[in-house]
Amino acid sequence: MARTRRRRGASVGGCRGCWTTNETSLGCPAVSRSVRAIRGATTLDSDTREQMIERVTTLLADMFGRNHVDLDDVVSIFFTATDDLHCMFPAEAARTMGLADIPLMCARELAITGGMPRCVRVMAYVETHHPRAAVEHIYHGEARTLRPDIGSSSP
């Protein structure tokens, strides 16, 4: 079969971004992997470094484990923390897991009346073979009440 030559990023038979040997792109890694967002959240009982590290690392390990994500598959992670958490950045806690080469960003959660206190929210962008509907969002602690419609819960 003749090799189809095209520019990077052109779409032939569903393939985006690679050279293929046929019009159907069978076996093309660009077709089989997509970037997906995994949501998660956890709460702290007290504003301490030890608890921030324990809760954030447990949450991330659960998010990655249940979604079959290796650290090499993680594109970036975005964290928010409520205004009552001052002990450390959630990203700093995540770095204790060995995420040194993954872009991490933190922001302050909106201070909404009646909002959940001492809460860290996470959105991890990962490359995966799984369809969006198969992504399992993880909520721990009091954060389980945030999105009962989409989340799985643990600790």
- Please identify every residue annotated as catalytic: 39, 95, 106, 109, 121, 139, 147
The pair of structure tokens assigned to 57 is 């690392």
The pair of structure tokens assigned to 83 is 């205004």
Whole-Å CA distances, 28 to 6, 98, 118, 133, 143: 14, 30, 44, 22, 39
Contacts of the segment 96-102: beta carbons below 8 A, 24+ positions apart: 96/53, 96/57, 97/57, 97/60, 97/61, 98/71, 99/71, 99/74, 102/71, 102/74, 102/75, 102/76, 102/77
